[in-house]
Amino acid sequence: MILTAPFAATGRVTLAALAAIGRAALFALATVSHLFRPPFYWREFAMQLIQIGYFSLPVVGMTAFFTGGALALQIYSGGARFNAESVVPSIVAIGMARELGPVLGGLMVAARVASSIAAEIGTMKVTEQIDALVTLSTNPMKYLTLPRVLAATLAVPVLVGIGDAIGIMGGFVVGVNRLGFNEAAYLKNTADFLQTWDVGSGMIKGAVFGFLVALMGCYYGMNSDRGAQGVGRATKAAVVAASVLILASNYLLTELFFTS
Amino acid sequence: MITLTDVHKAFGANRVLQGVNLTIPTAESMVIIGGSGTGKSVLLKCILGLVRPDSGSISIDGEDVTKTDRDAFLARFGMLFQGGALFDSLSVWQNVAFRLLRGAQKLPKAQAREIAIEKLRRVGLKPEVADLFPAELSGGMQKRVGLARAIAAAPQIIFFDEPTTGLDPIMSGVINDLIREIVVEMGVTAMTITHDMTSVRAIADRVAMLHGGLIRWTGPVAGMDGSGDPYLDQFIHGRATGPIESVR
């Protein structure tokens, strides 16, 4: 009995984790299936586009700007070890577009959006607003989940695209003012090396990250326990799950896009 | 008529409903009483389909609730939730007219707003309240808005979940009177769950007491005092001693 206890505990944890993954996957499938079944709540979708897309712009923009600037400094100082300072514009552009723009943008959206969605829906659940929706003949998945998930899936790639441009601008500002690059040469170098697929792959990543962020916010909000503590736990779990999923899916997408 | 036959529901080892049999006649006001945690809200949620019973059947006018068209079924209901359950992001009139702004009963916005204001007036609220948000209202006003929302689409059946919880005695009296007036005026079938004996006497035509997962007693409100049932007697007089165990 004592000898098998660690295996039993490991088994329990594994089964619980698999069950949680299964529940989240079913939730995702149910969400997507509602996309093809009317009604679709356009007003809620438009409001979420503004909430998730427009209002996330300042935080994503600032993150991208400072990241682009720091990246330029790092590449310059690292490149100086083997006389490769001139690669700063191209590496900043490729790094921002392929990796840092989508990942950091996704993480910032996870912090801002997954938490707010989980807290809002969790509070709605504990105050019986979700039950009220059902009694008013409104499916909560259609009214709350689908508009948020769809809005995030469409808005985050746009945020990533804007973040890429701002990040490259951050690198440009630092490169020109701090590292002594010629303005025209910096821009030409950036344009020459940056390819459409660099930006496109980052935006596809952004769409996946947006889907995951909103899905985790909705999933944990809908499954929130009672009370303030329950909503707090749901919010924390949503942000942690969204962040981990962003990093894990980023690796898988990078493998898929750039090694095959 | 709502008919519950041998309804069972358990949450893990906690057997909340253990064979509930109850009939609520059409156009009557039934009040379910019982201690905290006896399953009154679960019973109500089973009828609405928010909680699925483990066994037994629930029918409305002879139709099994699990086999009817869900939207058509829910369109017959109005519900006042314990805390109001108003949607924070919508204004008062949008809350009241929620059902009228979407789905099968969708009306033009102006007409829905007009109906919402009329329902607000019916529950004693001025039209100026219509454009406020729920967070700007007192608890009593929120209950009234919840009541206006429950009656907005002219339902045939209305459920009231603890309608006077958290209100002062005067506001409780106002809400009780409103519920009674609305139920009589609209000729609806009403089911209320409450601990508040003043509400019971003000709202009920018939009373059912839920205890130990079963309907312990049911009968007309006038027969409650002379029922001779020791459980009901202890509950309605609020005695600490008796067959119902109390925690001290």
Query: DSSP letters along A51-99, please?
Result: IIIGGGHHHHHHHHHHHHHHHHHHHHHHHGGGT-GGGHHHHHHHHIIII
> Does B90 reach chain A within 8 Å, measured CB to CB?
no
Q: Give domain status of residue B122, yes or no.
A: no
Q: Give domain status of residue A144, yes or no.
A: yes
**Cα–Cα distance measured from residue B136 to residue B144, given in angstroms and rounded to the nearest whole number:** 14
Q: What contacts 24+ positions apart, CB below 8 Å, involve A238-243?
A: A238/A114, A238/A115, A238/A117, A238/A118, A239/A110, A239/A111, A239/A114, A239/A115, A239/A118, A241/A114, A241/A216, A242/A110, A242/A114, A242/A212, A242/A213, A242/A216, A242/A217, A243/A107, A243/A110, A243/A111
Residue type, A4: T
- Residue B6's domain comprises 1-73+188-248
Contact A38, B106 (CB under 8 A): no
- pLDDT tens-digit readout, B157-183: 999 998 888 888 888 888 898 889 888
Q: Give domain status of residue B237, yes or no.
A: yes
Chain A residue with minimal CA distance to B89?
A120
Least confident of A32-36, B78-82, B207-211, B240-244: B240-244
> Does B74 reach chain A within 8 Å, measured CB to CB?
yes
> Does A40 reach chain B within 8 Å, measured CB to CB?
no
Interface test with B, best of A41, A134, A135, A139 (most B CBs within 10 A): A135
ipTM of the shown complex: 0.87
Q: Give domain status of residue A214, yes or no.
A: yes
- Residue A51's domain comprises 39-258
Contact B3, B177 (CB under 8 A): no
Q: Give domain status of residue A28, yes or no.
A: no
**Cα–Cα distance measured from residue B38 to residue B118, given in angstroms and rounded to the nearest whole number:** 37
Q: What's the pLDDT score for residue B4? A: 94
| pTM listed for this prediction | 0.87
Q: What's the pLDDT score for residue A260? A: 65
Q: Which residues have a Cβ under 8 Å from the Cβ of B94 and sit 6 or more positions away?
A: B87, B101, B116
Q: What's the pLDDT score for residue B244? A: 83
Tell me how close the Cα of B247 comes to any Cα of chain A, in angstroms.
23
Q: What is the mean pLDDT of residues B231-243?
A: 86
Q: What's the pLDDT score for residue B247? A: 53
Q: What's the pLDDT score for residue A105? A: 95
pLDDT by position in tens, chain A (length 260): 678 888 999 999 999 989 989 999 999 999 999 999 989 999 999 999 999 999 999 999 999 999 999 999 999 999 888 888 889 999 999 999 999 999 999 999 999 999 999 999 999 999 999 999 999 989 999 999 999 999 999 999 999 999 999 999 999 999 999 999 999 999 999 999 999 999 999 999 999 999 999 999 999 999 999 888 999 999 999 999 999 999 999 999 999 998 86
Q: What's the pLDDT score for residue A147? A: 97
Interface test with B, best of A125, A128, A136, A139 (most B CBs within 10 A): A136
Q: What's the pLDDT score for residue A251? A: 96
Selected residues 128-157 of chain A with any CB under 8 Å from a CB in chain B: 128-129, 131-132, 134-138
Q: Give domain status of residue A140, yes or no.
A: yes
Nearest to B82 by CA among B211, B236, B196, B1: B196
Q: Give domain status of residue B141, yes or no.
A: no
Residue B53 has pLDDT above 70, yes or no: yes
What is each CA distance from A110 to A54, A107, A216, in whole angstroms? 15, 5, 9
Residue B241 pLDDT grade (very low, low, confident, very high; cuts 50, 70, 90): confident
Q: What's the pLDDT score for residue B66? A: 81
> Does B86 reach chain A within 8 Å, measured CB to CB?
yes
Q: How many domains does chain B have?
A: 1
Q: Give domain status of residue A1, yes or no.
A: no
CATH code: domain of residue B20: 3.40.50.300
Residue B210 pLDDT grade (very low, low, confident, very high; cuts 50, 70, 90): very high
Residue B248 has pLDDT above 60, yes or no: no
Pairing between β-strand B189-193 and β-strand B157-161 as defined by DSSP bridges: parallel
Q: How many domains does chain A have?
A: 1
**Cα–Cα distance measured from residue A133 to residue A129, given in angstroms and rounded to the nearest whole number:** 6
Q: Give domain status of residue B112, yes or no.
A: no
Q: Give domain status of residue A101, yes or no.
A: yes
Nearest to A253 by CA among A160, A186, A148, A123: A160
Tell me how close the Cα of A184 comes to any Cα of chain B, in angstroms.
50
